[in-house]
């Protein structure tokens, strides 16, 4: 344990982390050396629901316009 390589991260007070690095990695389990840690490859976080695609934005605009026209029609029918 004493001879194992140390984590290369810095703590909040600026000193080096004293935890041992994970096997085959340069960081300890708390600083990103754990299996499957880190961000996913590519930008998969941004592709969750599609609400901000051009198609989704256009659909919401069309619905908003229809609702506005419906409200205007109801105002005209009920003076």
pTM beyond 0.85: no
pLDDT at 67: 98
pLDDT at 47: 65
Cβ burial of 60 (10 Å; 0-12, 13-18, 19+) is exposed
| Per-residue pLDDT in tens (0 to 9) along the chain, 79 residues | 778 899 989 988 999 999 999 888 888 888 887 887 766 676 666 667 778 889 999 999 999 999 999 999 999 998 7
pLDDT at 23: 86
DSSP 43: T
Cβ burial of 47 (10 Å; 0-12, 13-18, 19+) is exposed
Decide: 37 and 11 in contact? Cβ < 8 Å: no
């Amino acid at each position: 344990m004493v001879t194992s390589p140390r984590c290369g991260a810095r703590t909040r007070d600026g000193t080096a982390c004293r935890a041992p690095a994970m096997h085959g990695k340069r960081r300890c389990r708390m600083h990103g050396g754990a299996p499957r840690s880190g961000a996913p490859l590519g930008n998969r976080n941004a592709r969750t629901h599609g609400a901000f695609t051009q198609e989704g934005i256009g659909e919401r605009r069309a619905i908003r316009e229809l609702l506005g026209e419906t409200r205007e029609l109801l105002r005209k029918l009920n003076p």
